[in-house]
Structure 1
Amino acid sequence: MTTVVLQNTPLQWGPCDPTTVTNPALTCAFLEVPLDYFDASAGTARLALAKVNATSERRGTVFSTQARGPGGSGIVSLSQESAYLLAVTAGLYDIVSWDPRGVGTLTTPGEIHCFSSPEEYNSFFNGTLELTGIDYTGAFTDPHDIEHLLARAPLMQRKYEEAGRKCLDGPGGRYLRYVGTASTVRDLIAMTDVIEGEGALVNYIGGSYGTYLGARFVNMFPERVGKVILDGVINSAIYANHSWALHNQLVDTDAVYRGFVTGCALAGPQGCTIASAGQTPEAVHQTILGVLQAAYGADVKAGNAGSLITSYQIRAKLFNALYSPASWASVANELWPQIVGNVSAPSQSPSRRTRQDNKANATVSYTAIAIFCADDGVNPESTEMSTVFQSVVTQTQNVSHMVGGVWPQPVYYCPFWPVRGVERYQGPFKKTLVNKIALVGNTYDPVTPFSGAQGLADLLGNSANLIRLNAFGHTSAAEPSDCTVALGQAYFANGTLPEEDDVVCGVNNDFEPFPGVNTAAILANLTNFQH
């Protein structure tokens, strides 16, 4: 099948939109690409790109997608993380990122909205789990909790199916088929052809969802692989022909949580307000469980107008904190006292628990949902919501007691989403690559467990080198490591990777998630305890 090619002139780099980019070192440009690489009649898309120049003698371009996603802005991410990416690449390459299809207001198609306002969204989902979240105790083993959840499956399924139809019928509906990851891979190839020359090798650093994109790139175009690092790896082969299942992503989440409470216990009340003097990590955990129990049932307890914060919201905030150990002290010492105060103070306005987009006066974005579901390996209408709910219960019981039941999540839409991508890459994921790539994973990552990097490394065999950072958090950028930076610099400067198959790096000793407590101390004291 012949792909559509647009004749592109050299990019015109210039000032960036100041409402999007705050880093003065960046320049920006636009690139027109086919909306459908196999059907010219579909029209064109326009990608918004940003670049930071090499700081040493330039050897080429490294493309990067580091934003948490899908749905995150590559331009904003580069604005925030350009110094780190320049360090990893030894300053020898321009770093280019972009807002993929469906992301932001500069790329076309841009952000996907299915409701005209936050008020319409909140009214549509009023009284459903989309706004209240799932309430459960312990490890979701209470039959009452399970029965209460399953009873709400028919309504939730109807709402998701109707929301999907609203998206398809809305102004962005015609683009839903074109925001999938395979199309974005082809955009990456197109960007390289324009910037570095047709057929040039593609250099790429991908983090988180960027590894999902990267795994598809290196297997769709193995002959175009230059220097590639995938960091915080999603084992794409798992999802190629199956629906997204979070239990594969949450296998180390509770271990990261144990790192958080262990660091808190080691810091004591002077460094972590959750702890009392001499408490063990399990005792700190029991304190947190006590607050969750106090918030449990806030929406349904007789005579209670509800608390200002629900158990779901507490779990979601803790989940978010696990991504970044640099935030742990502020979460414990600034956010946690507010949580405790809000649990104990009844609300006079339960309707305040509504979902708002991060942008003022904007409605809720459906971009992450659209991208996940464009790629989903299961045809629409093949799964019942009751089955999805049961999987949430099972993953909470068996995989992550603390956050396995956090709802909503974009992937839960996919069985009820009305379209799939115009192109989906479903494997194989074990191609022989023209150049060897590096796969990086943290020992304890809350959403991309090390097993993901190991699994993809096993598939790629001699085409991949596996590096483990003995750290907590999401991707190797979560905790500073001179070791991983040095490995990246050697790779991009000289093309060298460690000779051994599995390399282990450590976190810098001067990095302290809690005052006076570094990562090595937390690892040394990390133990299992009863959830």
Structure 2
Amino acid sequence: MEYYKLVVLALSFASTVSCMASSHHGGPQIQWGSCDPSVVSDTSLSCGFLEVPLDYQDPSVGKARLALIKANATGERRGSVVFNPGGPGGSGLEVVNELKDLLLGFSGGVYDVISWDPRGVGNLTVPGEVFCFDDFAEYTAFFNGTIELTGIEETGNFTDPADINALLAQAPIMQKKYEQLAQKCMQSPSGKFLKYIGTAAAVRDIVSIANALDGPDAPINYIGTSYGTLIGSWLVNMFPERVGRVVLDGVFDPIVFATQEPSLSMPSQLISTDTIYKAIITGCALSGPSGCAAASEGDGPLDIDAKLQALMKTAYDATKLNASVPMTSGAIRNVLFGEMYFPADWSNLMNEEYPQMVQIVNGEAPANATLRRRSRQLIDRSPLVKRGSQPNDSPSFTGSAIYCADSVDLRGTTMEQVFKGIIPAAQNVSHLVGSTWPVAFYRCSFWPVRSVERYHGPFNKTLANKILVLSNLFDPITPLPGAETVARLLGKDAVLVRQNGFGHITVAEPSTCLNDITAAYFANGTLPANNTLCEVDADYEVFSGVNTADILAHLPRTDV
């Protein structure tokens, strides 16, 4: 499961050019060449660039440059399928390098898998990564003494009036900081490009890539995961006549995104998180001490929950005495939330990270810089696509730049209103992670830039071909209702397939049932019955001796 881990790649390209693609289509061409072997380990992959307009409505503005990667079809080639891993801010180059075999298998092996670093991602695509600070020291000095660095401190499901008052007291401070942050981003080298970064631009870039590869009349095939499903929803509705084979997996609700501020709609994305937390502690209890370090002999899920709650309470109490403790309760929540994304990480969470956190909080070990950095970064970007440290460890703001540029116009929302949404989210939606902070979404009510083009519907166009919509039953950030909404809006043009498991996007857990469905769809357009339910493979163990079906059968029914 190494492909779920942090990938640190400084991608560059060798100068050799092996072939010229798509010259027979006219228009822009892609020169495919070898990837630099020191950064792209798989020598079967090809790399290249495509120039596109910065602004498709106004070509006089100038050009953008997209960095591309290609995995050749393993069978008889039927065209190309474009893949976006999500984020926003995920590097397609990195993920294809890590997941080539998975993606080729997913698409049946009969298409070249193409991906790219979207605008705002990496240092090869232009415009590239969005940095607003020179280094990490400047970032920490800017946010010193705020919840941006510590997370939100609360206990007892955020019912203590003292915790509520402490958070609300930070509202004017954080609002000013986010307004100043936006201005810093505007004044940075990235600032002049911010209005050209976003989902509509990504959609038009996909069309440009497809045109260059397969021709301007060919169907566009696309796989989008996580935020990549928002790109997909916009793509199939902006260009319904071009829809070929399209799979959306881990689906954002495009109606919510088109009508609500992200900073106020975040709680609706957390509806499965407490169930996933129960799944983690249930799997740990079933595995017992031999398979889960957090379990003692005879422990049930509630016993393990009590240990984790006690750990957070100890960190919370220490923070009240000393604001500079090495690990806050908010940081622990961030770690737990981030590790919900992939059941492949749950055993490591409970066997490696939990004991480390106990030692750090109890003062028995120095703060683990890797763990602290992980807690800081996990939430801004899905672990599948998170990149490593940038020069000087300066944090990337690409996620905010894309989400916020795409979101609804500013409505005068205050930070106090944002906080007053978070408090009931922790009380009623997710006791565990309702108070997670920071999250890229929350900056959007104070972000001054919107993209030159946005698509806010309709989302029920008639499509040239039927698409496949996938979701786990329990996804921590793109819960099942998002997929149900997209499938319902598209009616007969979409088929929903659910997976009876946990994690963010269906590939978080292996399912032969789902693999067979996607391969058949890509091979010949065959689709299963709508609302089909696939099981996770029984031989896949989440904890030692414990599979997904075991956890589902033993999930506690009481609130924890």
Same fold (TM over 0.5): yes
Residue equivalent to 2:222:
204
Task: Report the count of equivalent residues.
Answer: 521
C-alpha distance in structure 1 between counterparts of 2:308 and 2:394, whole Å = 33
C-alpha distance in structure 1 between counterparts of 2:435 and 2:248, whole Å = 28
Q: Pick from 493, 497, 509: which aligns with 2:538?
A: 509
Q: Identity of paired residues, percent? A: 49
C-alpha distance in structure 1 between counterparts of 2:501 and 2:100, whole Å = 22
Please state whether the residue corresponding to 2:279 is helix, strand or coil. helix
Any conservation in 2 of the 1:436–1:465 contact (CA below 8 Å)?
A: yes
Aligned-pair CA distance for 1:467? 0.1
Residue equivalent to 1:248:
268
1:290 aligns with 2:324: no
Check 1:338–1:349 CA distance in 2 against 1; reply closer, same or farther (3 A cut): closer
Instruction: Give CA deviations for 1:76-98 in whole Å, capped at 9, x if unaligned.
Output: 01111110111111210100000
Please state whether the residue corresponding to 1:300 is helix, strand or coil. helix
C-alpha distance in structure 2 between counterparts of 1:264 and 1:196, whole Å = 49
Q: TM-score, normalised by structure 2?
A: 0.90
Aligned-pair CA distance for 1:17? 3.9
Q: Pick from 408, 426, 437: which aligns with 2:438?
A: 408
**Which piece of structure 1 moves more, 13-22 or 518-527?**
13-22
Alignment of 1:116-131 (within 5 A): 116-131=134-149
**Which piece of structure 1 moves more, 275-284 or 451-460?**
275-284
Check 1:336–1:9 CA distance in 2 against 1; reply closer, same or farther (3 A cut): same
Which one-letter code corresponds to 1:526 in the other structure?
L
C-alpha distance in structure 1 between counterparts of 2:173 and 2:456, whole Å = 32
Any conservation in 2 of the 1:323–1:474 contact (CA below 8 Å)?
A: yes
Check 1:406–1:57 CA distance in 2 against 1; reply closer, same or farther (3 A cut): same
Aligned-pair CA distance for 1:248? 1.7
Check 1:431–1:508 CA distance in 2 against 1; reply closer, same or farther (3 A cut): same
Residue equivalent to 2:80:
61
Which one-letter code corresponds to 1:464 in the other structure?
A
Any conservation in 2 of the 1:102–1:367 contact (CA below 8 Å)?
A: yes
Residue equivalent to 1:446:
476
Alignment of 1:453-464 (within 5 A): 453-464=483-494
Any conservation in 1 of the 2:409–2:450 contact (CA below 8 Å)?
A: no
Check 1:139–1:41 CA distance in 2 against 1; reply closer, same or farther (3 A cut): same
Aligned-pair CA distance for 1:528? 2.8
Q: TM-score, normalised by structure 1?
A: 0.95
Check 1:349–1:11 CA distance in 2 against 1; reply closer, same or farther (3 A cut): closer
Alignment of 1:291-330 (within 5 A): 291-301=311-321, 304=322, 306-330=324-348
**Which piece of structure 1 moves more, 325-334 or 464-473?**
325-334
Q: Pick from 545, 550, 554: which aligns with 1:521?
A: 550
Please state whether the residue corresponding to 1:279 is helix, strand or coil. coil
Any conservation in 1 of the 2:251–2:471 contact (CA below 8 Å)?
A: yes
Alignment of 1:58-457 (within 5 A): 58-67=77-86, 69-244=87-262, 245-301=265-321, 304=322, 306-345=324-363, 358-379=389-410, 382-457=412-487
Any conservation in 2 of the 1:33–1:47 contact (CA below 8 Å)?
A: yes
Please state whether the residue corresponding to 1:340 is helix, strand or coil. helix
C-alpha distance in structure 1 between counterparts of 2:361 and 2:147, whole Å = 19
Check 1:389–1:351 CA distance in 2 against 1; reply closer, same or farther (3 A cut): farther
Any conservation in 2 of the 1:396–1:404 contact (CA below 8 Å)?
A: yes
Which one-letter code corresponds to 1:453 in the other structure?
A
Point out where structure 2 has 5 or more consecutive residues left out of the alignment. 1-24, 378-387
C-alpha distance in structure 1 between counterparts of 2:364 and 2:523, whole Å = 59
Instruction: Give CA deviations for 1:494-530 in whole Å, capped at 9, x if unaligned.
Output: 11101x2210000111100000001110011112333
C-alpha distance in structure 1 between counterparts of 2:82 and 2:268, whole Å = 28
Q: Pick from 42, 49, 52: which aligns with 1:33?
A: 52
Aligned-pair CA distance for 1:346? 7.6
Any conservation in 2 of the 1:305–1:348 contact (CA below 8 Å)?
A: no
Please state whether the residue corresponding to 1:425 is helix, strand or coil. coil
Instruction: Give CA deviations for 1:214-249 in whole Å, capped at 9, x if unaligned.
Output: 011001110010000100111111110221121121
Aligned-pair CA distance for 1:116? 1.2
Which one-letter code corresponds to 2:534 in the other structure?
C
C-alpha distance in structure 2 between counterparts of 1:7 and 1:408, whole Å = 46
C-alpha distance in structure 2 between counterparts of 1:130 and 1:77, whole Å = 28
Point out where structure 1 has 5 or more consecutive residues left out of the alignment. 1-5
**Which piece of structure 1 moves more, 198-207 or 100-109?**
198-207
Any conservation in 1 of the 2:136–2:394 contact (CA below 8 Å)?
A: yes
Which one-letter code corresponds to 1:428 in the other structure?
P
CA RMSD of aligned residues (A): 1.9
Residue equivalent to 2:42:
23
